[in-house]
């Protein structure tokens, strides 16, 4: 991932240095296990721990000659350990025993960081929901005014979506928290299951119950899909802010720095660039998920077609989502809400936001549903055409006034009565924090 969208902690996890550190951890854990089995001289693991250093530059130098990164890594570490202990590094293992098991440890660490990010996002959304639970605005379906809602309700929807993303990440973490040291085709021909169990246990991983040369790639596809879905939780928030920030709407806006500039040509512009960036990166995340799905089916016990994909997709996806959730937290925590504009916009549709209330009120008064629907529809059309409140138009309709008193008609347009029923939505937020 390019530096623009990389936060330091996640970026360091996917750096070459960290990758080789994770490989070395597997190699040392394997030597511990081999020593316990009595297959490797006592003290070998300690010697490798003490002297098993490497440099990325030296590994790359060796790889340029042998064209195999694991061999280059093992050679480099053995050079620094020296003999006789160096000869036991990578004993009985195939490359994927090391690479896949080490990858499992890094995927776990990355997922833990992402879950922590979504913890912060859920908290920010819950805070916004509580703060604005009584801030009314027009609810919209198909982009058109529908019924009243509140900005707090909007944020409550975000909080629940972010929580579901957090739960999916937890399940995906479990899926990839596995390793394997079962050999070239997964048959334990050179490594006993006890060594595999010891290594994975030491690294905090489960064991792939039946592996080939590699851990099943459906696990990584599940992980990438969970990340892509988590990205859509961020996208959902960002897209709503983009719509609400449009000049014609103007009901909310993302934070804007005191010295920030919105356009190189038009000084008045205040563009939702962070929200737009999040929406764009969500498209990239869906691409990574597709790449992971393409990696599942491999030839026989393994080919290498998945390797090149994963070298890019896994680290990039984690880094990208880590950036996205951090920026989304910033938007939600600093969102500028404009209640006056919300109230003004609600008035633009002349009270037609309460049309369903009027329809049901007429049905409850004894009018059949279809005639009641047509009466309210006709009144709404008149309200738009003449620029008059729907309540006023209905109060002039004999079909309405013969059934409902003026007080009953007024009650149909009670915003407080409609919004009071939303309380359980906010009560459910207690389960998220």
pLDDT band at 335 (very low <50, low <70, confident <90, very high): very high
Average pLDDT over residues 220-232: 98
Contact 134, 150 (CB under 8 A): yes
Q: Give the CATH number of domain 352-412.
A: 1.10.40.30
142 included as an active-site residue? yes
Unique residue bearing structure tokens 């459906």: 218
Average pLDDT over residues 34-63: 96
Domain ranges within the chain, ordered by starting residue: 1-91, 93-134+150-254+270-337, 352-412
pLDDT of residue 419: 83
Q: Please check the confidence at residue 40 and state whether its pLDDT lies above 90.
A: yes
CA distances from 145 to 149, 190, 306, 383 (A): 10, 68, 48, 14
Q: Which pTM value belongs to this model?
A: 0.94
Q: Please check the confidence at residue 385 and state whether its pLDDT lies above 90.
A: yes
Q: What are phi and psi of 64, to 5 degrees?
A: -60, -25
Average pLDDT over residues 31-53: 96
C-alpha–C-alpha distance, residues 161 and 309, integer Å: 29
Q: Please check the confidence at residue 225 and state whether its pLDDT lies above 90.
A: yes
Q: Give the CATH number of domain 93-134+150-254+270-337.
A: 1.20.200.10
pLDDT of residue 305: 86
182 included as an active-site residue? no
Q: Mean pLDDT check: name the lowest of 114-123, 191-200, 277-286, 395-404.
A: 395-404
C-alpha–C-alpha distance, residues 96 and 99, integer Å: 5
pLDDT band at 265 (very low <50, low <70, confident <90, very high): confident
Overall size of the chain counted in residues: 433
Q: Please check the confidence at residue 45 and state whether its pLDDT lies above 90.
A: yes
pLDDT of residue 266: 87
Average pLDDT over residues 165-183: 97
pLDDT of residue 39: 95
Average pLDDT over residues 312-327: 97
> What share of the chain in percent tops pLDDT 90?
90
What is the per-residue DSSP string for 407-421? HHHHHHT-HHHHHHT
Catalytic position from the list 12, 189, 263, 414: 263
Q: Give the CATH number of domain 1-91.
A: 1.10.275.10
Long-range own/partner contacts, residues 91-94 (CB < 8 A, 24 or more apart): 91/30, 91/31, 91/34, 91/39, 91/40, 92/30, 92/34, 92/39, 92/183, 92/190, 92/191, 92/195, 93/27, 93/30, 93/181, 93/183, 93/190, 93/191, 94/183, 94/184, 94/213
On the 0-12 / 13-18 / 19+ scale of CB atoms within 10 A, 65 is exposed
Contact 137, 342 (CB under 8 A): yes
Q: Tens digits of per-residue pLDDT, 230-262?
A: 999 999 999 999 999 999 999 999 998 888 888
Contact 289, 225 (CB under 8 A): yes
On the 0-12 / 13-18 / 19+ scale of CB atoms within 10 A, 368 is exposed
Q: Please check the confidence at residue 417 and state whether its pLDDT lies above 90.
A: no
Q: Tens digits of per-residue pLDDT, 185-197?
A: 999 999 999 999 9
End-to-end Cα spacing for the chain: 32
pLDDT of residue 416: 87
pLDDT of residue 142: 96
Q: Tens digits of per-residue pLDDT, 82-92?
A: 999 999 999 99
């Amino acid at each position: 991932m390019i530096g623009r969208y990389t936060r330091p902690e996640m970026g360091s996890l996917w750096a070459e240095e960290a990758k080789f550190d994770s490989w070395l951890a597997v190699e040392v854990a394997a030597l511990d296990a081999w020593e316990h089995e009595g297959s490797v001289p006592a003290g070998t693991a300690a010697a490798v721990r003490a002297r098993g250093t490497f440099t990325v530059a030296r590994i790359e130098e060796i790889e340029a000659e042998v064209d195999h990164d694991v061999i280059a890594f093992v050679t480099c570490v053995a050079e620094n350990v020296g003999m006789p202990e160096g000869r036991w590094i990578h004993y009985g293992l195939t490359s994927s025993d090391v690479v896949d098991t080490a990858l499992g440890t890094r995927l776990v660490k990355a997922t833990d960081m992402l879950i922590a990010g979504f913890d912060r996002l859920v908290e920010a959304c819950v805070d916004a929901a509580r703060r604005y639970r009584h801030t009314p605005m027009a609810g919209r379906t198909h982009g058109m005014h529908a019924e009243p809602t509140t900005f707090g309700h909007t944020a409550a929807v975000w909080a629940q979506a972010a929580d579901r993303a957090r739960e999916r990440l937890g399940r995906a973490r479990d899926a990839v928290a596995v390793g394997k040291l079962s050999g070239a085709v997964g048959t334990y021909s050179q490594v006993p299951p006890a060594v595999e169990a010891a290594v994975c246990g030491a690294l905090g991983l489960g064991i792939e119950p039946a592996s080939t040369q590699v851990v099943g790639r459906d696990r990584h596809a599940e992980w990438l899909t969970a990340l892509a879905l988590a990205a859509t939780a961020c996208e959902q928030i960002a897209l709503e802010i983009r719509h609400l920030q449009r000049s014609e709407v103007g009901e909310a806006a993302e934070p804007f720095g005191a010295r920030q500039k919105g356009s190189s040509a038009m000084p008045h512009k205040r563009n939702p660039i962070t929200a737009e960036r999040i929406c764009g990166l969500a498209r990239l995340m869906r691409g990574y998920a597709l790449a992971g799905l393409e990696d599942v089916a491999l030839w026989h016990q393994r080919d290498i077609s998945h390797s090149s994909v994963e070298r890019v997709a896994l680290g990039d996806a984690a880094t990208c989502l880590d950036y996205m959730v951090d920026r989304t937290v910033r938007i939600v925590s600093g969102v500028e809400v404009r209640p006056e504009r919300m109230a003004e916009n609600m008035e633009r549709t002349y009270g037609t936001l309460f049309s369903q209330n009027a329809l049901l009120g007429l049905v409850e008064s004894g009018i059949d549903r279809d005639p009641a629907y047509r009466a309210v529809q006709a009144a709404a059309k008149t309200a738009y055409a003449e620029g008059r409140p729907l309540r006023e138009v209905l109060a002039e309709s004999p079909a309405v006034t013969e059934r409902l008193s003026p007080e009953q008609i007024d009650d149909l347009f009670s915003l407080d009565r409609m919004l009071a029923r939303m309380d359980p939505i906010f009560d459910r937020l207690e389960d998220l924090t």
